Amino acid sequence: MPIIKSARKRVKVAAKAKSRNARTKRNLRDSLKAFTKALSEGKTAEIAKAERAVISAIDTAAKKDVIHRNKAARQKSQVSARVKAAGVKPGKAAPKKTVTAKPAAKKAPAKKPVVKKTTATKKPATKK
């Protein structure tokens, strides 16, 4: 056990991170297994649903740096290739629900005040 206070804190932080990363990895593995099972059953609705879950889990793991982004890209590619080989047509992604505020009333753009142009008068050059 570390004696220095900052080292003790690092042990606690590392333990939390380890459990968080383990949870993310477990979720990824479970979704991959469910996807493989759906492929073996051959139901298109199940395959499409499992594919979305796998892609989401892969993206989450890559975002949290649990897996490398290149590995995530490779896995996503492999998943989509297996879906295509199974004959499932790629469907549209579910539209994301966005909260939109009421549109503000449009105001006319503020006009700049008109500045009168004065005619410049030349003063006669004085000789010294």
DSSP letter for 60, please: H
Look at residue 19 in the predicted model and tell me its pLDDT. Answer: 97
Q: What is the pLDDT of residue 115?
A: 75
The residues, any chain, with a CB within 8 Å of residue 34's CB and separated by 6 or more, are 50, 53, 54
- The parts of the chain modelled with pLDDT lower than 50 are none
Residue ranges per structural domain of the chain: 5-85
The structure tokens listed for 64 are: 């949290």
- Looking at residue 99, what is its pLDDT? 62
At the top level of CATH, the class of 5-85 is: mainly alpha
